[in-house]
Structure 1
């Protein structure tokens, strides 16, 4: 999966990385919803993470991939992309900052 390298996209990826590394990071971006993501697949990944956390399931690349394949079976989901997100060098405590970056370039 290849995305642009603009600041907003990088912010989206870093929010997802924070959540995959430490599920409690959701507290730092509680107002964020899937439609805030400019890339539909990022929004779907975020939705999956939120549902899993709400169900008390650890949202890691494996559980998120399983959820995505069940919820949206027609989409092509990449385990490699989810693992790449989980391996990004981020600080989960900065999740709120990365979420703010997503909105910097909005008109």
Structure 2
């Protein structure tokens, strides 16, 4: 069985990085080393704050990664915190409503 993992890292500047891997521990070590020469290399250290595993189906993992990358910061924070009510609330088009969403 092969696992594909979508993950979110919180960077030292409080930004989030979303990625996909087949070896989470190794991938986080690469991010922490600064050898990626990408987004996280100048924002060290990073901390794993969320992940979801997909068994034998990389296509579902890729869909989730792309979906999360398109989300707002507050929606990502709701996912990380497991706050499903806010996930639903932040999924709505807030411009259609007359009330403020925090």
Same fold (TM over 0.5): no
Q: Which has the larger radius of gyration?
A: 2
> Going by fraction, where is helix more abundant, 1 or 2?
1
> Going by fraction, where is strand more abundant, 1 or 2?
2
The one of the two structures with greater contact order (alpha-carbon pairs below 8 A, sep at least 6) is: 1
Taking structure 2 as the reference length, what is the TM-score of the superposition?
Answer: 0.31
Taking structure 1 as the reference length, what is the TM-score of the superposition?
Answer: 0.30
